[in-house]
Amino acid sequence: MFKGKNYQESAKLIDRSVLYDPAEAFDLVIKGAKAKFDETVELHVKLGVDSRHADQQVRGAVVLPHGTGKSRKVLVFCKEERQAEALEAGADYVGLQDMVERIQKENFFDFDVVVATPDVMGVIGRLGKVLGPKGLMPSPKAGTVTPNLAQAIKEIKAGKIEYRLDRTNIIHCPIGKVSFGTEKLVDNYNTIIGAIIKARPAAAKGQYIKSCVTASTMGPGIKINAQKQQA
């Protein structure tokens, strides 16, 4: 696959055989980010589990200390008597049957996170086939099915992200922007890695974190030595 001149220049800064300490890795990410926009810094963590087994799933949510650098739109499903409360807490869209129909009929997806109260999950369950593949279906594990709407909304707006395994046993998540600088990126990295390690399933055997790679939106991948966090 063809890589542009900027990518090739950035790749020259990296020794692909080296596992870098987090601070060194994020320094290199920042130096190699040459796009004209503020690139997102992503983390890709491959785990030694098998996501096909229910007892080896790894999923959860954590509030990054410095947020992700992106404002996130929140859709809340709740009964009418709680809709004003959700809007006051900062929800971008609130509704129930009307929002279900809007998603189904208008293909409306102008939101990043969905929160729901437990008493309406029966109503929005029919959206599983469209929200599920997009990673948008509310989940108690992610803290997005909750009676405490205000807290959930405020945490998401403050930088709460969900992490979950894909089919190849890798967790992909944004941990900030290049403009954050090394120190804030390391803080966010330590928080998400700590949460992933804490979520290790009892059924996981052998080495848990197989590899950990960071990259900016347009930059090359840089391997991080995550063994210190595992120890």
pLDDT in tens, 131-165: 999 889 999 988 999 999 999 999 999 888 889 89
What was the pLDDT predicted at 145? 95
What was the pLDDT predicted at 169? 95
Render pLDDT for 206-218 as a digit per residue (tens, 0 to 9): 899 999 999 999 8
What was the pLDDT predicted at 3? 64
What was the pLDDT predicted at 199? 93
Distance of CA 74 to the CA centre of its chain: 14
The letter for the amino acid at 86 is A
3-state secondary structure of 231: coil
Point out the residues of the chain with pLDDT beneath 50: 1-2
Indicate the CATH number for domain 74-157: 3.40.50.790
The answer to whether residues 76 and 116 touch, using CB atoms and an 8 Å cutoff, is yes
CATH superfamily of 5-67+160-230: Ribosomal protein L1/L10, rRNA-binding domain (3.30.190.20)
Distance CA 109, CA 89 (A): 21
Paired residues of 60 in beta bridges: 163
Distance between start and end Cα atoms, the chain: 37
Paired residues of 76 in beta bridges: 94, 115
pTM for the complete prediction? 0.79
Helix H or strand E encompassing 214: strand 209-216
In the chain, ranges of CATH 3.30.190.20 domains: 5-67+160-230
E strands present in 117-208: 160-164, 170-177
DSSP annotation string for 33-81: --SSS-PEEEEEEEESS-TTSGGG--EEEEE-TT--SS---EEEE--GG
Tally of CB atoms within 10 A around 217: 15
What was the pLDDT predicted at 34? 85
What was the pLDDT predicted at 49? 94
- Phi and psi at 109, nearest 5°, equal -140, 40
